Amino acid sequence: MKEILLKLRNSQTLTRQETCEILLKINEGSIPEIQTAAILAMLEMRGVTVEELLGFREGLLKTRVAIDLSAYSPIDIVGTGGDGKNTFNISTCTCFVVAGAGYHVAKHGNFGATSVSGASNVIQEHGVRFTNNQHLLTRSIEQSGVAYLHAPLFHPAMKNAAPIRKALQVPTVFNLLGPLINPATPEFQLLGVANLEQMRLYTNALRRVGTNFTVITSIDGYDEISLTDEFKVMTNEYESTYNPLELGFGNLRAEELHGGKDVNEAKAIFDSVLECRSTPTQQNVVIANAAFAIHTINPDKSIEECINEARISIESGKALACFRKFVEINS
């Protein structure tokens, strides 16, 4: 590790192989914690490169509990989090709307770090028990359209790094890895990020690993399509900026997306969207995100067609039916 530390001290970049080996040694517990902390801190101060990030990703995927859902060509729908907006569970609602439209979703998620309720919080609140069992996850995605992959059950190496991350009390490269380490390595991904710097980092990373992706960010700092302002979209094929008005949506106010004061309120909002009892604002923001997920899978369709598919999924009750079946299978 001395050579690695010297390279970082001298502002040199590390290779993908070097960061992969660092991760594997962290998993083994063979690097002293003080050296691990120094490596993570220096990378954070300098800024991680795409190759370094992909090396850490490779190491985590090597040590993961693997799951094979490739027969379903699933999409992962996830935000980086950390935007400080405390919105309701937009991406999690979106998963079931996409499933209701006839597609398959392998969502990788965790408990909320900066919001009242992360994906795992709101799903667990419905009585769902998390699993890494291949048979049960296959049954879930086949019958409900959604398999939920609770991150701690699949990534033991993250657990070994947790005490060091907690002691440092600053973001590290591990904060960037969540959206890149879905253990099912899905064919498609809709990823929401909070700023243009993250957008560049993730689009470069996803291009190199060969994922069919759409990365989205709202200009006013949401890690999803918020409809509160223009939003930028980057895919394997194009980049564009959209105005909500051009897509038939109004401009929303930030307070209309609030996720509630606690997980009970978050659950109530989540249920109201899928049950068509929510405000038009809440429903529209989920439809917009679902439309771009559908477009990621079917890029030949127009955005307008995808919006229509998403709207039908909610209004017909198909999204709710998928969610109820998901809860039944996973409880």
pLDDT at 311 over 60: yes
Residue appearing with tokens 């949401």: 222
pLDDT tens sequence across 56-97: 999 999 999 999 999 999 999 998 876 677 788 999 999 999
Mean pLDDT of the residues in the chain: 93
CATH at residue 8 = 1.20.970.10
Structural domain contains residue 230: yes
Structural domain contains residue 175: no
Residue appearing with tokens 């006839």: 102
pLDDT at 193 over 60: yes
The first and second tokens of residue 235, run together, are 């895919």
**In terms of DSSP H, where are the helices of 145-234?**
156-168, 173-177, 196-209
> Residue 283: its pLDDT value, please?
96
The phi, psi pair for 233, rounded to 5°, reads: -130, 135
pLDDT tens sequence across 216-272: 999 998 999 999 999 999 999 999 999 999 999 988 888 888 878 888 999 999 999
Among the three residues 62, 79, 101, which one is the final residue of a domain in this structure?
62
Structural domain contains residue 104: yes
How many other C-beta atoms can be found within 10 angstroms of the C-beta atom of residue 330? Answer: 21
pLDDT tens sequence across 9-30: 999 999 999 999 999 998 888 9
Range of the domain at 11: 2-62
> Residue 82: its pLDDT value, please?
66
The CA distances from residue 200 to 36, 91, 217, 218, in Å, are: 27, 21, 11, 14
190 and 53 share a domain? Answer: no
50 and 190 share a domain? Answer: no
SS3 annotation, 292-306: HHHHHHCCCCCHHHH
pLDDT tens sequence across 155-180: 988 877 778 877 887 778 888 898 99
> Residue 83: its pLDDT value, please?
66
Please say whether the dihedral angle defined by the alpha carbons of residues 135, 138, 144 and 150, taken in this order, is positive or negative.
positive
> Residue 161: its pLDDT value, please?
78
Structural domain contains residue 133: yes
How many other C-beta atoms can be found within 10 angstroms of the C-beta atom of residue 240? Answer: 10
> What is the average pLDDT across 202-220?
95
112 band by pLDDT with thresholds 50, 70 and 90: confident
pLDDT at 115 over 80: no
Give which of 81, 170, 84 is closest to 121, Cα–Cα: 81
127 and 25 share a domain? Answer: no
CA distance 75 to 50: 22
> Residue 259: its pLDDT value, please?
77
Q: How many structural domains is the chain composed of? A: 2
